[in-house]
Chain A
Amino acid sequence: MNFDLSEEQRMIQESVARFIKDNYDLESRVASSAKDPGFNTDHWNTMAELGWLGLPFAESDGGFGGNQIDVMVVMEQFGKGLVLEPFLASIVMGGGALKRGGSESLKSEMLPGVIDGSRQLAFAYAEQQARFDLHDVTTTARQEGEAFVLNGQKSMVQNAETASQIVVSTRTSGGQVDEDGITLFLVDADADGITLDNFPTVDGLRASEIAIKDVSVSADRILGEVGRGFEILNAVANDAMLALGAEAVGTMEVLYKDTVAYTQEREQFGHPLSDFQVLQHRMVEMFIEYEQCKSMLYRATMEAVKGDPATAQKAIHGLKHLVGKYGFFIGENAVQLHGGMGVTEELRLGHYFKRLVVIDSMFGNADFHLQKFAA
Chain B
Amino acid sequence: MDIELSAEDLSFREEVRQFFSDNEYPAGEDYMTWRTQWFEKARQKGGWDVPKWPADFGGPGWTPTQHYIWEQETARASLPFDLPFGVGMLAPILMAYGNEEQQHRFLPDIRSRKVNWCQGYSEAGAGSDLANVKTKAVLSDDGTYYMVNGSKMWTTAAHMADWIFCLTRTDASGIKQKGITFLLFPMQQDGVEVKPIITLGGSHSVNSVYFTDVKVPVENRIGEEGKGWTYAKGLLQHERTGLAGLSGSLVALEKLKEQARSVTRGNGTLMDDPGYRAKVAELEIDLMAAEYTELRSLASASTGAAPGPESSILKLKGTEIQQRIQKLTVEAGGIYSAAWGSKPIGLPFARGGMGGYLASRAFTIYGGASEVQRDVIAKNVLGLKRSSK
Which residues in A have some Cβ–Cβ distance to B below 8 Å? 126, 128-129, 131-133, 155-156, 177, 197, 199-203, 207, 209, 267-269, 271, 275-279, 328, 332, 335-336, 339-340, 342-346, 350, 353-354, 357-358, 361-362, 365, 367, 370-371
Decide: A336 near B369, CB < 8 A? Known: A202-B354, A344-B198, A367-B276. Answer: yes
Decide: A340 near B127, CB < 8 A? Known: A131-B263, A200-B340. Answer: yes
Looking at chain B's contact residues, is the secondary structure mostly helix, strand, loop, or mixed?
A: mixed
A332 to B370, CA, bound (A): 13
Stretch at the interface among B84-92, B219-227, B288-296, B360-368: B360-368
Collect the chain A residues with CB atoms within 8 Å of residue B206's CB: 340
A339 to B371, CA, bound (A): 11
Indicate if the CB atoms of A336 and B364 lie closer than 8 Å: yes
Indicate if the CB atoms of A342 and B361 lie closer than 8 Å: yes
Cβ of B132 under 8 Å from chain A: yes
Indicate if the CB atoms of A345 and B198 lie closer than 8 Å: yes
Cβ of B16 under 8 Å from chain A: no
Indicate if the CB atoms of B370 and A336 lie closer than 8 Å: yes
Indicate if the CB atoms of B338 and A361 lie closer than 8 Å: yes
Indicate if the CB atoms of A367 and B331 lie closer than 8 Å: yes
Indicate if the CB atoms of A336 and B365 lie closer than 8 Å: yes
Indicate if the CB atoms of A340 and B338 lie closer than 8 Å: no
Interface size on B, residues (CB 8 A): 52
Residues 242-274 of B at the A interface (beta carbon under 8 Å) = 263-266, 270, 273
Cβ of B128 under 8 Å from chain A: yes
Collect the chain B residues with CB atoms within 8 Å of residue A344's CB: 197-200
Indicate if the CB atoms of A342 and B365 lie closer than 8 Å: yes
Indicate if the CB atoms of B200 and A365 lie closer than 8 Å: no
Indicate if the CB atoms of A126 and B345 lie closer than 8 Å: no
Collect the chain A residues with CB atoms within 8 Å of residue B345's CB: 155-156, 197, 199, 209
6 A-B pairs whose Cβ atoms sit less than 8 Å apart in the complex? A197-B345, A201-B340, A340-B154, A345-B199, A357-B357, A361-B334
Q: Given known contacts A269-B128, A276-B371, A343-B200, what 4 new A-B pairs fall within 8 Å (CB)?
A: A335-B200, A335-B365, A342-B361, A367-B331
Indicate if the CB atoms of A126 and B365 lie closer than 8 Å: no
A279 to B270, CA, bound (A): 36
Collect the chain A residues with CB atoms within 8 Å of residue B366's CB: 340
Collect the chain A residues with CB atoms within 8 Å of residue B327's CB: 328
Nearest to B374 among chain A residues (CB) is A278
Collect the chain A residues with CB atoms within 8 Å of residue B202's CB: 345
Decide: A201 near B339, CB < 8 A? Known: A340-B154, A344-B197, A371-B275. Answer: yes
Instruction: Return A193 CB to nearest CB of chain B, in Å.
Output: 21
Cβ of B333 under 8 Å from chain A: yes
Cβ of B114 under 8 Å from chain A: no
A118 to B44, CA, bound (A): 71
Cβ of B336 under 8 Å from chain A: yes
A375 to B334, CA, bound (A): 21
Collect the chain B residues with CB atoms within 8 Å of residue A346's CB: 197-198
Residue-wise interface mask of B (369-388) relative to A, using a CB-CB cutoff of 8 A (1 in contact, 0 not): 11100100000000000000
Instruction: Return A25 CB to nearest CB of chain B, in Å.
Output: 18
Indicate if the CB atoms of A268 and B200 lie closer than 8 Å: no
- B129, B358, B365, B371: the one contacting A340 at CB < 8 Å is B365
Instruction: Return B35 CB to nearest CB of chain A, in Å.
Output: 29
Collect the chain A residues with CB atoms within 8 Å of residue B46's CB: none
Collect the chain B residues with CB atoms within 8 Å of residue A353's CB: 200
Residue-wise interface mask of B (320-355) relative to A, using a CB-CB cutoff of 8 A (1 in contact, 0 not): 000000010011011111111101011100000010
Collect the chain B residues with CB atoms within 8 Å of residue A199's CB: 339-341, 343, 345
Indicate if the CB atoms of A365 and B331 lie closer than 8 Å: yes
A324 to B79, CA, bound (A): 38
Indicate if the CB atoms of A156 and B361 lie closer than 8 Å: no
Cβ of B311 under 8 Å from chain A: no
Indicate if the CB atoms of B346 and A209 lie closer than 8 Å: yes
